[in-house]
Amino acid sequence: MKIITGGAGFIGSAISWRLNQLGIKDILLVDADVAGTKKNNLENLLYSDLIDKDNFIKKISLDDISFKVETIYHMGACSSTTEQDMEYLKANNFEYSKHLAKWSIRNSVRFIYASSGATYGDGSMGFEDDEKLIPKLTQLNKYGLSKQMFDIWLLENKMLDKVVGLKYFNVFGPNENHKGDMRSMVNKSYSQIEKTGKMQLFKSYRNEYKDGEQKRDFIYVKDAVEMTIFFDGINQIGYNKNGIYNIGAGRASSWNEMAYALFKALGKEPVIEYVEMPDNIKNQYQYYTEANITKLRRAGYEKPVMSLEESVIDYVVNYLMKDKYLSIND
């Protein structure tokens, strides 16, 4: 059985989608959302069961798992980059992860977990997924710090070479509608353009970047998931590869480029308005991110990554415009 924490969420449900396409249906989803506010993400997917995350961790703590587990995809976390409650972040993103990692290693279960590109902070140390650099990184927000804490804990306890940590960069795509303000800019801007005919981007406050020329490594969720399952037993090439890996497109694109792709997908002329950045994020704003995916390539991952324009068009035309979620037939 495959277990996916955060299984009703964005990347978690997309992993189920891809596993279904590969003929895998024996999947246990773990999420806080068992009541169903993310139910649209799961409507077209096949899985064995969905259980509450607190009940699941109790079973793990009591070693009360009666079935054979092959892999745990640990995608569950508080992913809000503006969350200020450090105790909440520590409980959800650090302590919970520690319990799962120890159980997985003790029971010889493949453990693949979500770290984050936010651990790189302002990028002054670069974006290379070298475990030796982890202790030197400084984060810009408490979310990034909570992810960094777990990476360091694994490193200090000599566990990082027994698991796979994936530093996701700016992932966007189907099944993110439930994320509210944490939705991707592609998703939010699609709605904005439909309502107002224009798109808003933050002004730049650094001379080296013109308005809208701040850059991000945007990666489509379909590519991110393909990279993720590369490390599972489905693919023997990646099964014995452990440690930290970046999950990104390996190229930086500007917000303006993303905007142009979005307007192109909608068949509209670009109308962009540059607005003031809120004071509460000015000091933690990343002006540039670009995942170095050399290590992933060296591990044997050979599939090409969709271009930003291709990704945005697929997302808009095949999902947003149709109000559609990932389906096994996609």
In the block, tokens 């799962």 appear at: 100
143 is a catalytic site residue: yes
Q: Which of the residues 47, 96, 113, 143 is marked catalytic?
A: 143
pTM equals: 0.96
Going by their DSSP bridges, the two strands 164-168 and 71-74 should be labelled as unpaired
**pLDDT at site 322:** 97
**pLDDT at site 18:** 98
Q: Which of the residues 179, 198, 203, 295 is marked catalytic?
A: 179
Query: What number of residues does the chain have?
Result: 330
Task: Please tell me whether residue 272 adopts helix, strand or coil conformation.
Answer: strand
162 is a catalytic site residue: no
Q: Which helix (H) or strand (E) holds 28?
A: strand 27-31
The secondary structure of 199-265 as a DSSP string is EEEEPP-STTS-TT--EE-EEEHHHHHHHHHTTSTTSHHHHT--EEEEES-SS-EEHHHHHHHHHHH
The residues, any chain, with a CB within 8 Å of residue 107's CB and separated by 6 or more, are 65, 69
**pLDDT at site 257:** 98
> Which domains does the chain show, CATH number per domain?
2-173+217-251+288-307 (3.40.50.720)
pLDDT along the chain (330 residues), means of 10: 97 98 97 85 96 95 94 92 88 94 97 96 93 94 94 97 98 96 96 96 96 98 98 85 98 98 98 94 90 97 97 98 95
**pLDDT at site 167:** 98
Side chain identity at residue 250, one-letter code: G
